[in-house]
Copies of this chain bind each other. A is one copy, B any other.
Amino acid sequence: MSFLDTLNTTTDRQHSLLCVGLDTVPDRLPDILRKEDNPVLTFNTAIIEATSDLVAAYKINTAFYEQDGSQGWETLERTLDAIPDTVIKILDAKRGDIGNTARMYAKAVFETLGADAVTVNPYLGGDAVEPFIEYSEKGTFVLCLTSNPGSRDFQHVSDGNETLYQLIARTVQGWNRHQNCGLVVGATHPEQLKEIRERTPDLPFLIPGLGAQGGDLESSVRYGTDERGGNALYNSSRGILYASSGADFADAARQQARAMNDAINGERTKGL
């Protein structure tokens, strides 16, 4: 089964395009967890249990675990293990290295960690991305237009015909022979989201930047989904994880995830 099929089957069955980012910061954990052996793992497990019927995917950003070294990497492994197989596991690693080295990263992500999908950085070009794509049933989301202020610095460089992010979108389309490529496009750029969707109607989008980063849900769902109202994942991290700092943190996360999923589904159906 291609990754595209896995994605669509999952979003249909879960009736959700929501992706929860497990960007867990020890400083922001509820006080009630501080005495646990591994507070981050306990927190993540509780969040997953409370939300897994409402989401299509979890996204784990490696940075938040690497800050704690090999112990953090172990927490990352155990968090991935806690995610049920009904939901897509995305490793938000943004890796990118020359072919020989990229093969090691692809093995790390898809074999050692067992993730279903990954984010990669296109700056090093085709041979840096190809080793990920060769895992034909796994998903590879290539950074296209990111959600942060720095996206202005280099991603908009234009040769007169197209910008760098447009060139990347077009190139990734060409890499998509296994139906397993996608793009990362930030919710903070609704006009460009619309334009990239028009240029690559069949690629799945992973869309971060809602909530704390200021992306607008309504426009990003309207412009980011395909003509069937799908083929996109909307990530929220802080807004769901830290919905409450009390003992009710998991319930509060569930309520927040449900509200966000309902809001996304409400917008999806409007355009159909």
Contact = CB atoms under 8 A, between A and B. Distances in A.
A164 B147 CA distance: 20
B127 A154 contact: no
Chain A residues touching B, majority SS: helix
A248 interface: no
Contacts of A154: 122-123, 125, 164, 167-168, 171
Interface stretch (A7-15, A104-112, A132-140): A104-112
Given A94-B97, A97-B94, A121-B123, A104 B159 contact: no
Interface in A74-127: 74, 76-77, 94-99, 101-102, 104-105, 107-108, 111-113, 121-127
A150 B126 CA distance: 5
A118 to B, nearest CB: 12
A36 B270 CA distance: 63
A26 to B, nearest CB: 11
Contacts of A96: 94, 96, 121, 123
A108 to B, nearest CB: 4
A61 interface: yes
B98 A127 contact: no
A155 interface: yes
B155 A143 contact: no
Interface string A42-73: 00000000000000000001011011111111
Which 7 A-B residue pairs are closest in the complex by CB-CB distance? A125-B150, A125-B153, A63-B104, A98-B148, A66-B108, A70-B74, A70-B73
